[in-house]
Structure 1
Amino acid sequence: MVKTILYDGLNLSLQKGTGVATYTRGLIQTVRGLGYQTGIVHSVQSKLPRNPALREVVLFDDNSNRKLGPVALGKRWARRRVGAPFGVTPTHVELTGTVILKSLQGNVLDSDYLYANNDLFATARHHFKNFGKSLPLSFAHKPDLLHCTYPIPMRARKALNVCTIHDLVPLRLPYLTEDNKRYHYKMLKHLVKSVDHIVTVSETSRQDIIRFLGVEESRITNTYQAVHVPLELREKSQDVAEDEIAGIFNLDWKKYFLFFGAFEPKKNLSRLVEAYLSAKVDYPLIIVGAPGWKGDQTQLLIEDDRFRFFLQQDNRIIPGRRIHRFDFVSYNLLVSLIRGARSVLFPSLYEGFGLPVLESMQLGTPVLTSTEGSVPEIAGDAALLIDPYNTQSLRNAVRALANDQDLCDHLAELGPAQAAQFSPERYQQKIATLYDDLLGS
């Protein structure tokens, strides 16, 4: 009998994804390839209607920026205050064909079951605050396992429960995140004791979790992650990719530096900008990422008129300035930007894995990255590693990449082979072993 594994939809955004969203998508696709049935449990802002077609509409309604009225806000406050003491039963949502999903390809995953519940993940957090336990979930089709791809205090009744903890950044570098540290620590301590198994994505994170949360080695598995830029994007002709970055961004092939990723303190953007400006190189710096928590000061530095590019009405960059930032570009264009960059600069202070490093390597682009966190074990000898706290070292590395063609060629040659160590095939083997051990397949 085919077994069913459910996953949370916490980070599965319909528009702008996150690193955890990429992890969740890759995990679900891998598990479907292994022959398991899969399902996704979503949280929606409003109560799900009884009408099947309307349920589908509500599930895919992009209402993330919609303001709730006073009545809805009051109900949400009351629901969170109570915290669902008896658990919840997420509603099964069938795809009726009402919603046209073609424009969401890549974001909407093939799954056998879709569930949704009003304010589910916030309810789970408040349930834990109120009762010190994970929120119990019941499902119309009983799963064999619920795998939360991010620490969420909820569990499936009468099923195995697994949680992925990507890193311990909120505890190890508490000044870099806005989490409630007391809550986060208590919740993690509860999860590592109550779930059936813990998954993580690097040996660095695995050792952190064992050391700081007291997890037994037999109860935690490092699966790493897979890097897989679609073949059609990797094999897109260079002429087409050059035309894209020239026509859309007014950039020349291999004549700009690129940073892409979340715009948050641990990404070390302030030091990167300072180092880049002091390096006095001819190549512009392109930053793809939206400001997040504590991003204001870095944004002000980036947008200083002395350094930033200006946009014409057709959104093309005017040459002559030094830094420009885009909140978001499509994945297809991002791949072309990575391929066309002189180097990707990713001097993060701490990463649980560091997928941008491997994506860039797979595309044959030289990478400058950090000696901290898990990145060294991911990058190996195929990247230029620097102390991310040392602005002078960072500046010197940027200069070297700008002026030393042999260095760039060497890193471009090593990158794809290193990325191949994290292939989808190897990842599938690790996931198959994990679930076979847990489910007895």
Structure 2
Amino acid sequence: MRVMIDSFNLDLEKGTGVATYGRNLLASLHDMGFSVGCLTERGIKAGESAPFQFYSADRKDTFFHGKKGMLRLPYDLFSTLLPFKIQLLDIEQVSHIELGAITNKFPEIDFFVAKKRIFNLALAYFKIFGKFLPIRLNQPLDVMHWTYPLPARVVGARNFYTIHDIIPLKFPFYTLENKDLYYRTLKEIALRADAVVVVSEQTRHDFCGLFKLDNSRVFNAYQTIDWDFVNSETETKGVAGYLKECFALSPGEYFIFTGALEPKKNVERLIEAYLLAGVEFPLVLVGPQGWQVYDGLKTLMKKTPSILYLDYLPRRTLQILTKHARALLFPSIYEGFGLPLLEAMKSGTPVLTADFGAMAEIVGEAALRVDPYNVSDMAQAIRQLAKDKTRLAELAALGLKQAEMFSAENYQMRLHKIYKDSQKNN
């Protein structure tokens, strides 16, 4: 079976949850024995050097990195109305590119299809014509698995769309997306997709409820992560010195939060609760500053010695910090899945999170669950995590067991069933 995914988030220099999803999906599909491809918007010239251009560090021609060449967009848009297809570039993988250094970003890929600014083109086409951009490939494809709700479809293939959450519509005051465009895109997916793949029962409930769908074309695959190395002896050797030298931290003597600092992550209440708890352990915040991080919160982070703020970190550094934290504090208001929860559980790190939604669904009984709107409730839970070593050990063991539900093997079994069942439905 030939399957292709988009590189919409994979091309970002700094990771996102959707980029992690895309990498894990690529790796899983490859391990399942499929021929796996990637649709990229990079500006790649045809010829024998095409594979080398794809892996180039220069990303200036992508959706996220500049607007060079945007004058060509009207021509590309006009070309979609003509009888001939948009010119796509097929690239076969070559064996002599050394990919070991970047497997954490691009797992093994068998083929590529490239079209400069194709995601911009799809967006413009949908805005003008109200239809998804039809993409006609030069080679046959069985499944196009979109990792993000993009307004495009591959003609002649089954089109799957992953919906991670409906935050822009459930909490419109928490995001900056164009709500009308987002709603119309999801509605078209609900009507036309061969399969909708979601990452939690919460997302399935929200999506089906919004568009009054039954569950016949909406499948929950959950997620998985490649996080195993943190439990190996070689990776934990010398950690105490590393943490002290780099961050002035000691193993098991700090709390951690990972994720973008934005309203839905509830960081403001988390900091209030942490300060109210009056515990001796520092709080480490890891993640980019999102929108609406107001000046007061920035000042609080800077002026409070026990709060350490770190922006984007390399993946392995994040893994080490997560594994050796006393606990992950993640009282988010809403998540489609909540990758930091699984990362912590798989690391054997105790978790504090919200007592509802996808957060409660993912952790089950393997976390200390609180009302994320109640600062006093959170503060009391933080005090318990600071003092009760027996409870910490219990949560760590429960988390490791709960994480098995999201193993790579279980994820691949769910994916295989989705691909098989959707084929029956079609």
Structures share fold, TM-score greater than 0.5: yes
In structure 2, the CA distance between the partners of 1:118 and 1:354, relative to structure 1 (3 Å rule), is same
- In the alignment, which residue of structure 1 is the partner of 2:48? 52
Q: List alignment gaps of at least 5 residues for structure 1.
A: 308-320
- In the alignment, which residue of structure 2 is the partner of 1:364? 348
- In the alignment, which residue of structure 1 is the partner of 2:175? 177
Specify the SS of the correspondent of 2:37.
strand
- In the alignment, which residue of structure 2 is the partner of 1:261? 259
The 5 A counterparts of 1:19-98 are 19-44=17-42, 47-53=43-49, 56-57=52-53, 60-63=56-59, 67-68=66-67, 72-76=69-73, 78=74, 84-85=80-81, 88-96=86-94
What is the CA-CA distance between 1:438 and the residue it aligns to?
Answer: 3.0
Cα distance in 1, alignment partners of residues 395 and 351 from structure 2: 7
In structure 2, the CA distance between the partners of 1:421 and 1:66, relative to structure 1 (3 Å rule), is closer
In structure 2, the CA distance between the partners of 1:299 and 1:328, relative to structure 1 (3 Å rule), is farther
The 5 A counterparts of 1:103-114 are 103-114=101-112
| Partner amino acid, structure 2, of 1:242 | A
Check conservation: 1:242, 1:340, Cα contact below 8 A.
no
Query: For 1:396, which of 371, 377, 380 is the aligned residue?
Result: 380
What is the CA-CA distance between 1:14 and the residue it aligns to?
Answer: 5.8
What is the CA-CA distance between 1:59 and the residue it aligns to?
Answer: 5.1
Query: For 1:236, which of 218, 233, 251 is the aligned residue?
Result: 233
Check conservation: 1:89, 1:137, Cα contact below 8 A.
no
Deviations 1:185-234 (CA, angstroms, capped at 9, x unpaired): 1111011111111111111111111111122211111111124412x322
| Partner amino acid, structure 2, of 1:50 | A
Specify the SS of the correspondent of 2:230.
helix
- In the alignment, which residue of structure 2 is the partner of 1:424? 408
- In the alignment, which residue of structure 2 is the partner of 1:338? 322
Cα distance in 2, alignment partners of residues 88 and 240 from structure 1: 54
In structure 2, the CA distance between the partners of 1:250 and 1:141, relative to structure 1 (3 Å rule), is same
Report the TM-score when normalising by structure 1. Answer: 0.88
- In the alignment, which residue of structure 2 is the partner of 1:194? 192
Are residue 271 (structure 1) and residue 269 (structure 2) matched? yes
What is the CA-CA distance between 1:89 and the residue it aligns to?
Answer: 4.0
- In the alignment, which residue of structure 2 is the partner of 1:314? none
Q: List alignment gaps of at least 5 residues for structure 2.
A: none
Report the TM-score when normalising by structure 2. Answer: 0.91
Cα distance in 2, alignment partners of residues 368 and 97 from structure 1: 45
Deviations 1:271-293 (CA, angstroms, capped at 9, x unpaired): 11222122221111111111122
Deviations 1:285-312 (CA, angstroms, capped at 9, x unpaired): 11111112223447514443x21xxxxx
Specify the SS of the correspondent of 1:426.
helix
Deviations 1:234-268 (CA, angstroms, capped at 9, x unpaired): 21354333232222222111111111122322111
What is the CA-CA distance between 1:55 and the residue it aligns to?
Answer: 6.0
Are residue 168 (structure 1) and residue 166 (structure 2) matched? yes
Specify the SS of the correspondent of 2:127.
helix
In structure 2, the CA distance between the partners of 1:98 and 1:120, relative to structure 1 (3 Å rule), is farther
Amino-acid identity (%): 35
- Matched residue count: 419
Check conservation: 2:231, 2:347, Cα contact below 8 A.
yes
Deviations 1:72-108 (CA, angstroms, capped at 9, x unpaired): 34334x3587594456343123445786544323112
